[in-house]
Amino acid sequence: MVRLTDFVTSGGCACKIGPHILQRVLDSVMPVTNDNVLADMTGADDAGIYKINDTTALVQTLDFFTPIVDDPNLFGKIAACNALSDVYAMGGTPLTAMNIVGFPVPLVEQGVLTDVLNGAASIVREAGAAIVGGHSIENKEPIYGMSVTGSVHPDRVWKNKGAQEGDVLILTKPIGTGIMSNALKGHLFSNGVAQAVTSMSRLNKYAADVARNYTIHACTDITGFSLVGHSVEMAIASNLTIHIYAESLPLFDDVVEGAQMGLVPAATYGNRKAITDVAMSDALDPVWSDIVFDPQTSGGLLLAIPIGESDRLLSDLHRAGVERAAIVGICESFSGLSVRVTK
């Protein structure tokens, strides 16, 4: 049986270029934009927004990565969920998707790519979108992802800018996928691994559908730059400090034990090196630094919502099947640091 993770050195969003390296590149690239662009590469938003008219804007994004699981069908599902997530994080609805493929020809001939594409197709079908094409190249390491187009009302775009002092932060999925992906490779912690795979294979559609009924001041999805990294982006964009309660974070089983064993992706160290505008409480066990900097794949939505609506939103999320959604922090006036993490 083919084990896809044997073909790669790092999988899922952990294979991303580190944020500190990427930022140096982007700082030297001239943005190309016009008045119809409502969100572009100059910010840290999850997708681009292009206004078509007063009632319709396009949401455009793409995402691809190397395998984080061995099963080809599951890999396709996770990659599709991850790519579609950026549309949900902007408040949009996916319309179309296009496949992005780089694969070794021997794996293609064994039917592995067919299984990947069928797994992804099942998720796009669940999202109510359509696959309209794609592009493939031969590549030594298997990579797969999607380019996705969605729609949103121009006045109802969620951005990572706009969180307000006093807002409560709700995270809709547990964290620890990077640690659990290393556990999978080592055949360890089967419960935690199974929970992580199930979570990565679940669309953020259901959380977004519920959240649209509430006042969402800011939103982002938690992916490769970690919970802390994406929280820093929201904090900087909103000119405030985000206070995260570590012991309130939803975790997969065995994440703490896995981190204590050293099952920490290399990208965790890259995130920690790049994301310095963070204060970890001395009262926290050092293992929490590995957890909050852990690169996530197909992670949950981080929603900033007025405190008066937070309990109702949380209850509605739970009723909608988003069972691990939790209040994980609060937005505070700027204290000189973007994020602080306490018990």
- Residue ranges of domains in the chain, CATH in brackets: 4-156 (3.30.1330.10), 168-342 (3.90.650.10)
Give the bridge partners for 65, in sequence order: 144
Q: CA-CA distance, 163 to 160, in Å (whole number)?
A: 7
The tens-digit pLDDT sequence of the chain (343 residues) is: 788 988 887 878 778 777 777 778 888 888 889 999 999 877 789 999 999 999 999 999 999 999 999 999 999 999 999 999 999 999 999 999 999 999 999 999 999 999 999 999 999 999 999 999 999 999 999 999 999 999 999 999 999 999 999 999 999 999 999 999 999 999 999 999 999 999 999 999 999 999 999 999 999 999 999 999 999 999 999 999 999 999 999 999 999 999 999 999 999 999 999 999 999 999 999 999 999 999 999 999 999 999 999 999 999 999 999 999 999 999 999 999 999 999 9
Q: CA-CA distance, 298 to 173, in Å (whole number)?
A: 9
The verdict on pTM exceeding 0.85 is yes
Collect contacts of 139-142 with beta carbons under 8 A, ≥24 apart. Answer: 139/102, 139/103, 139/104, 140/104, 141/7, 141/8, 141/66, 141/102, 141/104, 142/4, 142/7, 142/8, 142/66, 142/67, 142/102, 142/103, 142/104, 142/107, 142/112, 142/116
Residues noted as catalytic: 13
